[in-house]
Amino acid sequence: MARFEFARTLSKRSFWVRTLSIPVLLAAVIALSYFSSQVSNEADQKVQQSQFSIAVEDASGLVGPEVLRAAGAKIVVGKASGIEMVKRGQVDAFVYYPVGPAQHAVEVYAKDDGIINNAKYSAAASALLKAGVTAKLGGGEAVSLLQTPPDVSVVTYKDGQETKGFGRAVAPGLFLVLFYAVIVLLGNQMLTSTTEEKENRVIEMILTSVTARTIIVGKILSLVGLGIIQIVAILVPVLVGYFGFREVLNIPVLDLSQVSFAPWPIGVGAAIFLGGFLLFTGLLVAIGAAVPTAKEAGGFFAVAMILVFVPFYALGAIVTSPDQLVVKVMSFFPLTAPITLMLRNAVGNLSAGETAVGLVILYVTGALLMALAIRIFRFGSLEYARKLGIREILTRRA
């Protein structure tokens, strides 16, 4: 059954269009981002290199006449006079530095040169003030440190061993990305996997030769195989882009020496991923088996996706305050547990006891939903015009 489902889906043109469209779209987005970045950088350079006349009144006394003369600025006495010079077109911009510019805004009056190009006036005003203050302080390392914060290297330890900082979240965090990819790519297929035969009216013939359990297990195994193919189809272009065009695309270098491959968080991440996959597969297949058509099943997919994304709305609390009640509830509520537990495992605030309880909830709930999906399919596969109720499913005898 699994081989039949796997081969049948692979032979469909829609499967390959859906699978290959994702890397194609990713490549298009990356190319568009690169093009936009190049255009933006060229525009910034043009703005920085553009020349314009400027007049200044320095009531603060922080800029100084030497700096203003070096910059080619006209020194003006009277704010009104400077504004009038701009209105008459005698200068492109007038900058007024008030007394105490730390408490009062520096005022700029200038000729309108477009939304983007107008940024050059405020940049010039800030640069003149910065140059004046630097000249008064006399430069040196202290001024340099105030202008540019130093690089800070942090080394942390846990139980006497050096930790990898953010690098320890990378490997277990990949299971979170993988889980989303599987649910997004296969979720709708899980939901509609049992409705096709019902709509084609061939389910009676199939059930004469195989049991409902065999059909459901076969479909799930085929979905796993199809998911692996889809993930490979996405990863290959990503790896080709990184190793073949990293410099062209200006992709940062991934330093694997800073990534932790500790076995415990990776093993926990894998166990949560498999439990979450089992749970959502059982849920979506059960829903698909309970409704008569793929159209009705599709209406439930949005609900399932919302449940998957809910933990991200509490990301701050999950990462920083794992003892909050809402985090505890989402950690152990079956439909939000996979994402919440994977996030907490990645950032390292999931205890061993919570891990054990969470995994038991995931696997027990997943097994119950699988059993429920098989029971629903057994009784609901021949229902073409109505949905089965929960009471009827649980009480009906074979």
| Per-residue pLDDT tens digits for 288-332 | 777 777 677 767 777 777 877 888 888 888 988 888 999 999 999
At 85, the pLDDT band (50, 70, 90 cuts) reads very high
At 351, the pLDDT band (50, 70, 90 cuts) reads very high
Highest-scoring range by mean pLDDT, 251-255, 282-286, 381-385: 282-286
pLDDT digits (tens, 9 = 90+) for 181-228: 778 777 777 777 777 766 666 666 777 777 777 887 888 788 778 878
Q: Are strands 54-58 and 93-97 parallel, antiparallel or unpaired?
A: parallel
- Mean pLDDT, to the nearest integer, of 22-33? 73
Instruction: Judge whether residue 370 has pLDDT over 70.
Output: yes
- What is the pLDDT, as a whole number, of residue 328? 92
**What Å distances lie between residue 149 and 66, 124, 146, 226, CA to CA?**
27, 22, 6, 50
Instruction: Judge whether residue 394 has pLDDT over 70.
Output: no
What is the rounded average pLDDT for all residues in the chain? 81
Strand partners, 108: 95
pLDDT digits (tens, 9 = 90+) for 51-80: 889 999 999 888 888 888 888 889 988 889
Q: Going by C-beta distance under 8 Å and a sequence separation of 6 or more, which residues neighbour residue 239?
A: none
- What is the pLDDT, as a whole number, of residue 398? 56
Please give the residue that has the higher pLDDT: either 352 or 396.
352
- Mean pLDDT, to the nearest integer, of 271-284? 89
Q: What is the pTM of this model?
A: 0.66
Instruction: Judge whether residue 105 has pLDDT over 70.
Output: yes
- What is the pLDDT, as a whole number, of residue 248? 67
Instruction: Judge whether residue 361 has pLDDT over 90.
Output: yes
Q: How far is CA 203 from the centre of its chain?
A: 41
- What is the pLDDT, as a whole number, of residue 332? 93
pLDDT digits (tens, 9 = 90+) for 146-173: 777 778 877 777 777 777 777 778 888 8
Q: If you search the block for the tokens 């302080």, which residue do you land on?
A: 137
- What is the pLDDT, as a whole number, of residue 139? 67
- What is the pLDDT, as a whole number, of residue 352? 92
- Mean pLDDT, to the nearest integer, of 335-345? 92
Q: Going by C-beta distance under 8 Å and a sequence separation of 6 or more, which residues neighbour residue 57?
A: 75, 76, 77, 78, 79, 82, 94, 95, 96, 97
At 47, the pLDDT band (50, 70, 90 cuts) reads low
- CA dist 281 and 275 (Å) reads 10
- Mean pLDDT, to the nearest integer, of 67-96? 90
- What is the pLDDT, as a whole number, of residue 309? 80
Here the tokens at position 373 are 């999906």
At 269, the pLDDT band (50, 70, 90 cuts) reads very high
- Mean pLDDT, to the nearest integer, of 18-47? 73
Share of the chain above pLDDT 90, in %: 20
Highest-scoring range by mean pLDDT, 7-21, 96-110, 147-161, 168-182: 96-110
Least confident of 204-213, 355-364, 371-380: 204-213
Instruction: Judge whether residue 29 has pLDDT over 90.
Output: no
- What is the pLDDT, as a whole number, of residue 87? 92
- What is the pLDDT, as a whole number, of residue 225? 82
- What is the pLDDT, as a whole number, of residue 222? 82
